[in-house]
Structure 1
Amino acid sequence: MKHPARILGLAALALVLSACSKLTPKNYDKLKVGMKYEEVKQVLGAPTKCSDLLAVKSCTWGDDTRFVQVSFIADQVILFNSSNLR
């Protein structure tokens, strides 16, 4: 049998961690075409993953269900989108 106090503690920790996430509509609204990669990192934190294809660098913050995806050319934002931020 699981301990109720432990379950409550883990639930509280998950709530605190999700509240600290930088994946918010407010931060998403700060993104602009032409921003540098480092500027985006200042707004959203370190990306979860990045990939390079030819001259395009594509980075994702978050997971498969809740994310922000940003594409860069020459270290500048050219396109960005999100899913389930609200």
Structure 2
Amino acid sequence: MTFRIFVIGICCLFMVACSKITQENYNRLKAGQSKTEVEEILGKPADCSGALGLSSCTWGDKNSFISVQYVNDKVVMYAGQGLR
């Protein structure tokens, strides 16, 4: 049982260490990038919504996230919080 908890803890540590929600990746974002280019940097978003050519996607959680706003699938604004 103790070994199982240890293995689960190590797996969680690796998952956090491999997060793409970092200051380095945030710095790679630029206005005008396509949605595909952003997803190459950050992976698939946790949440997206929008209508009429406008959309907003978020990666991460409430404590550490990157949010990107698009017009016609091109970045117009982006913000981040809790990045390391």
Residue correspondence of structure 1 range 8-47 to structure 2 within 5 A: 8-47=6-45
Q: Which protein shows a greater Rg?
A: 1
Instruction: Indicate the residue corresponding to 1:70 in structure 2.
Output: 68
Q: CA deviation at 1:55?
A: 3.1
Count matched residues: 84
Residue type of the partner of 2:5? I
Report the AA paired with residue 28 of structure 1.
Y
1:64 Cα deviation after fit:
1.4
TM-score (norm 2): 0.93
After the TM superposition, which parts of structure 1 deviate over 3 Å for at least 4 consecutive aligned residues?
Answer: none
> How does the TM-score come out when normalised to structure 1?
0.91
What's the secondary structure of 2:59's corresponding residue? strand
Select between 12-21 and 47-56 the one with higher mean Cα deviation: 47-56
* Contact residue 49 and residue 55 of structure 2 kept, 8 A: yes
Cα distance in structure 1, aligned partners of 2:25 and 2:52: 28
2:59 aligned with 1:81: no
Give the Å deviation of 1:66: 1.1
Q: Which runs of 5+ in 2 are unaligned?
A: none
SS in 2 for 1:28: helix
Helix, strand or coil at the partner of 2:41? helix
